[in-house]
Structure 1
Amino acid sequence: MGRSIATIKDVAREAGVSISTVSSVVNGNKPVSEDLAARVRDAVQRLNFQPNHMARSLHAKRTQTLAYLTPDITNVAFLRTFKAIEATAHARGYSVFLLGTDGSVKTTEEAIDRVIGLRMDGAFFTMSWALAQTELRLHRLADRGIAMVGVSGSYNLPEIDCFLRDEEGGGYQVGDYLARLGHRNILCVGPLSSRAADMRWGGLRTALAAGAGEAKLTMAATEGYTAGAAYDAMQAAIGARAGFSAVVAFNDAIASGALAALADNGIEIPAGVSFVSFGDAHMDFHRPQITSVTFDEEGIAALAANRLIDRIEGIVTAPPAHERLPLKLSIRPSSRRIDS
């Protein structure tokens, strides 16, 4: 026969206290003397008591669950953000479920429906194009008291807290750095139909205009965000003999494909061409190490997670905050000074 499952009544009997005292200790919602609390904890351990969290959440009208909606679950930066959000949320008693949207408006709307259907307490959103298209849909979450926070991505929605990256500032740092090294012909590898790309390349152009005068910025457009797409775009740029002295990659995956194409054509880094990437997941492990734009995903995730839970628990009631947090250029041996 299987072992019977201990109930809260069993714990109360074992500890010699009331059921309400056991509930107070287990849920941490009322003060209990240390002597009584110790007796309850000992009884819980001896009986291997497992609290009924579902029943507790129904009573509290909370499920202690959150969703993290992101367009690409393979994106290293988004995964880092999710893991950091998960750690902060777990420390405060919440679970986080990862929902991929594939950058699709339809899939994003389906994910929002799932958040509602599962009675989740809150949701994090990567602020992507697809989410911006479903802005009115978000009111369905607000109407049900589901808290929302935007974290990372490029779009800003005034109705919710948003903690985003200063993409344009990151691009400016890259452009300023390359201009000071004497580069006047720079190839950008990445997508064209991307708000993040617009902001990064825009910042880069501004810096070049300020520091390099007649500098030329050439685009090697990729079909998507994969290493394979970047490899093809880089091969085409090499074949066109564009004469670039530096390459800037949109993210880690794009950088990997572009670097492979350069290597296959015998173009060395940095002797043949300088190289800079947005994203820092693997750039420290390339040889040579790649200069890259880095970001504190863990820091922004903790900020966003605490804000969302504070909203849920009524700790924060102020109007939504909107911050663009700085990026940092980590300089490594992949770029060199050239003659003007």
Structure 2
Amino acid sequence: MATIKDVAKHAGVSTSTVSHVLNQTRFVSEDISSRVRAAVEELNYAPSALARSLKVNHTRTFGMLVTTSTNPFFGEVVKGVERRCYEQGYNLILCNTEGDIDRMRSNLDMLLQKRVDGLLLMCSEVETSAFDLFARHQPVPTVVMDWGPIDFPSDKIQDNSHHGGYLATKHLIEKGHTQIGCLTGPLDKLPAQQRLSGFVQAMEESGLTINKDWIASGNFECEGGEKAFNAIYKNGKLPTALFVCNDMMAMGVINTAHKQGISVPDDLSIVGYDDIKLAKYITPSLTTIHQPKHRLGQQAVDTLLEKINKQSDSNKVIQLEPTLMERDSVKSLTP
């Protein structure tokens, strides 16, 4: 494999001249530049990204830790991250933690050994880990995205889950529903807590009774929706509507209800959360709370770049606002 010294020798110039031609860091005459470019092409020379990163002390690479999940929500956010990295001339190393704290530690060590310029965290298991694992590696710029720990000292980009839960429940109330249940995610996770609190606020504001028999939790996956629905189904009479705290669980509910002969929305109205791409293609198409997933990914990259470029010193929290996407899974009970 040709080196920069080989190119310099072939072109009859110094290595610094080759560097200036390739990086356009100083004026070099067209005659010499042409000789250098011809030598590069003839020798099939490729500059070493590693050598350059050691010289300039940055790699133009970000590392991202994300919980492996069947939930397309994560993939849609990662797509936004990848797109923004490409637009800004950065590479992305994506590591799946699979919910395993040991694997997360191993991935983190690998990313730091590769001298990434910044870290993106979207792995909820960090909440139960030792935060000093990250703190002792500072000052690597770090952005926590949505499902990460709320009290970790870093920039944070979050969905306003409380407001999203409130919007979902308020929509059902405005459609004439008074008997409303809530199927939450795991209540040790902040998004699940906040979506439930939004549900409670909307119910209390409207003077509606919260029936504990109509509240159950799942794991934010399809089977979690199935399990939570079966839990309230065994309690007897069902509500007329459910706020299900993410779309994957909502799809599990629709499937399980269908097996029990319960029609959505004729017998049971459902509002989901996330607005994953599949939500509008299931039957019935799902009324849900839209999270700006691509924007979440793009904003995370931009926030890291601000930190790297010293445009921001203090840690900040950026909150993205959810909106309601009305489709076919809610029946109106108003005259």
TM-score range, shorter chain: 0.7 to 0.9
Distance 1:237 1:131, change over 3 A: closer
Inter-partner Cα distance in structure 2 for 1:192 and 1:320: 27
Give the alignment of 1:50-199 within 5 angstroms.
Answer: 50-126=46-122, 128=124, 130-131=126-127, 133-142=129-138, 145-153=139-147, 155-157=149-151, 159-190=153-184, 191-199=186-194
1:146-185 Cα distance to aligned partner (Å, 9 max, x none): 2111122263336311111111111111111111112122
* Partner residue in 2 for 1:332: 327
Is the CA contact 2:287–2:327 (under 8 Å) kept in the aligned structure 1? yes
Q: Does 1:292 align with 2:288?
A: yes
Is the CA contact 2:226–2:252 (under 8 Å) kept in the aligned structure 1? yes
Distance 1:332 1:20, change over 3 A: same
Is the CA contact 1:275–1:291 (under 8 Å) kept in the aligned structure 2? yes
Deviation at 1:220, TM superposition (A): 2.4
* Partner residue in 2 for 1:204: 199
**For residue 283 of structure 1, what is the amino acid of its counterpart?**
A
Deviation at 1:252, TM superposition (A): 2.6
Distance 1:41 1:199, change over 3 A: farther
Q: What secondary structure does 1:269 align onto?
A: coil
Q: Does 1:237 align with 2:232?
A: yes
Distance 1:21 1:186, change over 3 A: farther
1:196-220 Cα distance to aligned partner (Å, 9 max, x none): 1110010111012113533546212
Distance 1:36 1:85, change over 3 A: farther
Give the alignment of 1:297-312 within 5 angstroms.
Answer: 297-312=293-308
* Partner residue in 1 for 2:45: 49
* Partner residue in 1 for 2:279: 283
Distance 1:158 1:227, change over 3 A: closer
TM-score (ref. length: structure 2): 0.87
Inter-partner Cα distance in structure 2 for 1:288 and 1:258: 12
Inter-partner Cα distance in structure 2 for 1:15 and 1:206: 74
Is the CA contact 1:184–1:215 (under 8 Å) kept in the aligned structure 2? no
1:132-153 Cα distance to aligned partner (Å, 9 max, x none): 64222221120xx321111222
**For residue 183 of structure 2, what is the amino acid of its counterpart?**
V
Inter-partner Cα distance in structure 1 for 2:232 and 2:20: 67
- Name stretches of at least 5 consecutive residues in structure 2 with no aligned partner: none
1:287-326 Cα distance to aligned partner (Å, 9 max, x none): 22110111111112112112213323x3424312212110
Q: How many residues matched?
A: 331
Deviation at 1:46, TM superposition (A): 5.5
Q: Matched residues, percent identical?
A: 26
* Partner residue in 1 for 2:246: 251
**For residue 336 of structure 1, what is the amino acid of its counterpart?**
K
Deviation at 1:329, TM superposition (A): 0.9
Inter-partner Cα distance in structure 2 for 1:194 and 1:132: 10
Distance 1:86 1:113, change over 3 A: same
Inter-partner Cα distance in structure 2 for 1:226 and 1:278: 12
* Partner residue in 2 for 1:19: 15
- Root-mean-square deviation (CA, aligned residues, Å) is 2.8
Q: What secondary structure does 1:241 align onto?
A: coil
Q: What secondary structure does 2:232 align onto?
A: helix
Deviation at 1:37, TM superposition (A): 10
Is the CA contact 1:141–1:147 (under 8 Å) kept in the aligned structure 2? no
* Partner residue in 2 for 1:273: 268
**For residue 285 of structure 1, what is the amino acid of its counterpart?**
Y
TM-score (ref. length: structure 1): 0.86
Inter-partner Cα distance in structure 1 for 2:145 and 2:31: 43
Is the CA contact 2:127–2:148 (under 8 Å) kept in the aligned structure 1? no
